[in-house]
Amino acid sequence: MSRPGMSKRAAVRHDETALTGLSRQNSIYRRTMTVCDELADAALGGADPVRLTEVFARLVGKRVVLLDAAFRLRAQAGGSESGPGLRWNRSDPSVDRLLRALETVRRPLRIPAIPGSLLDQACLMAPVVVREVSLGYLLMLDEPAPASDYPAAPDDAEFLTITYAATLFALTLAHEQTSAELDLRYRATVVDALVSGHFFDAHDARRKARSLGLRDDTALRVAMLRPLPPDFASAQRIAAILPGAGTVVRDGALIMIVPGEPSSDTLAALCRLGPGTTCGISEPVDSPELLPRGMRQAEQAIDLGLRLGRAGQPVRYDQLGIYRLLCTIGDMQHLMGFARDVLGPLLDYDTQHRTELVRTLSVYLHQHCSHKQSARILHLHTNTVAYRIARIETITGLDLSDPDNRLIAHVAAKIIESQGG
């Protein structure tokens, strides 16, 4: 029916325009639902983020990129394989402004290409959000167009599609995150049980170790980090340094079950996780049921390392020499009594005269009684070292040319050093 005052021809044109608009909207709706239905089927079927990216790229016929919340690449698929790779970096001011805007509006944005910048590829971009938490970003990249062409703007169907897709990606990423957190909690519980000796027998200990992915034929060590780095993000940082390690945080320390032989560089990297963080490493154990012993050794390695001035460094229990024997005796009061019996007069002399004769003796014995090597380490003249050694023999009554006297003097010096003396 034509409107009053409108000619019949004008009314026909008006109706045709309305029908065309409805037809276009219906077409957009059908296209959107076709994509969304198949994408939802994939998500409900258990597709992980990588697989979901592949499905979405196939459905829209464009290159799709999934970034995590830190703007790192999670997955990409579709489009022209010869096209330029995504070169965005949040350190670039234009990229950072874009992401801030995206976090504010929480809806898809059309990002035009800016030649000569990191934003040199146009795309449609949507935030992947659950409640107020950003889990990542979903991008549909435009195909490279000839220089003479204007890039085609995305139509309404693409806006609707990426909006719905971002919701499905949010659910998938949230499920992945929850599953990962549950897995980490389970692994931490198993690690705590193994290093604490909370297992029924050797068979149960091996079963628990296998659940962590540790093989029966692999030697294991216990490593401990103390103090815990203040900004510690357990899983990601440790997994990058020690793949395959099981971890648990307990009493302000990070405890790890480490398969194989960690390199010196790896242990140094652990110590760099925080200022003053010291890493104690046990001897290798052949069976998981021996891990409680490894736990004690790792803890003793840290304690001795701190007393010996090695804070912030890796300390291997199997390289502690005689200090290992001192740890097993346990009664430090008894050990210090022995040390004072041997070197008490020397300790008193150092205190009264502010000298370092105990240290001179320790270095001298450690260097196999070499005046030259001792002088190099102590930054003294060899004659000064010789004078000090003679003075030490006079004060203590020891004859350092006698093997037995050297042994008891060396043990006494080690006990004093282990107590921070």
Which position has the higher pLDDT, 229 or 27?
Answer: 229
CA atoms of 11 and 24, how far apart (whole Å): 20
Q: Is 80 helix (H, G, I), strand (E, B) or coil?
A: coil
Q: Is 340 in contact with 351 (CB distance < 8 Å)?
A: no
Residue 3 lies in a domain: no
Q: Which of 392, 377, 196, 208 is nearest to 295 (CA)?
A: 196
Give the list of residues 6+ apart from residue 253 with CB closer than 8 angstroms, or none: 224, 225, 226, 227, 228
Domain with 341 in it: 328-418
Same domain as 40, residue 170: yes
Residue 189 lies in a domain: no
| Number of separate domains in the chain | 3
What is the CB-side half-sphere exposure of residue 193 using CA atoms within 13 A?
19
Residue 311 lies in a domain: yes
The 10s digit of each residue's pLDDT in 222-279 is 999 998 776 555 556 776 788 888 888 888 888 999 998 998 899 888 888 888 889 9
pLDDT at residue 222, as a whole number = 96
Same domain as 137, residue 201: no
Same domain as 32, residue 137: yes
**CATH number, residue 358:** 1.10.10.2840
Same domain as 94, residue 51: yes
Same domain as 314, residue 337: no
**CATH number, residue 262:** 3.30.70.270
Give the list of residues 6+ apart from residue 30 with CB closer than 8 angstroms, or none: none
The tokens for 357 are: 């004769």
Same domain as 208, residue 76: no
Residue 184 lies in a domain: no
The 10s digit of each residue's pLDDT in 80-134 is 654 555 666 667 777 777 777 776 767 788 877 766 655 667 788 898 888 778 8
Q: Which of 85, 83, 152, 80 is nearest to 112 (CA)?
A: 152
Q: Phi first, then psi: what are they for 67, rounded to 5°?
A: -110, 150
Same domain as 170, residue 24: yes
**CATH number, residue 30:** 3.30.450.40
Cα 116 versus chain centre, distance: 35
How do strand 220-226 and strand 278-281 relate by DSSP bridges? antiparallel
The tokens for 163 are: 């909006």
Residue 183 lies in a domain: no
Same domain as 363, residue 286: no
Same domain as 43, residue 160: yes
Same domain as 343, residue 213: no
Residue 1 lies in a domain: no
Same domain as 168, residue 38: yes
Residue 314 lies in a domain: yes
Same domain as 243, residue 98: no
Q: How close are the terminal C-alpha atoms of the chain, in Å? A: 104
CA atoms of 347 and 62, how far apart (whole Å): 79
- Whole-model pTM over 0.85: no
Q: Which of 281, 289, 142 is nearest to 208 (CA)?
A: 289
Residue 187 lies in a domain: no
Length of the chain: 421
Give the list of residues 6+ apart from residue 315 with CB closer than 8 angstroms, or none: 278, 279, 280, 281, 301, 302, 304, 305
Q: Quote the mean pLDDT of the chain.
A: 81
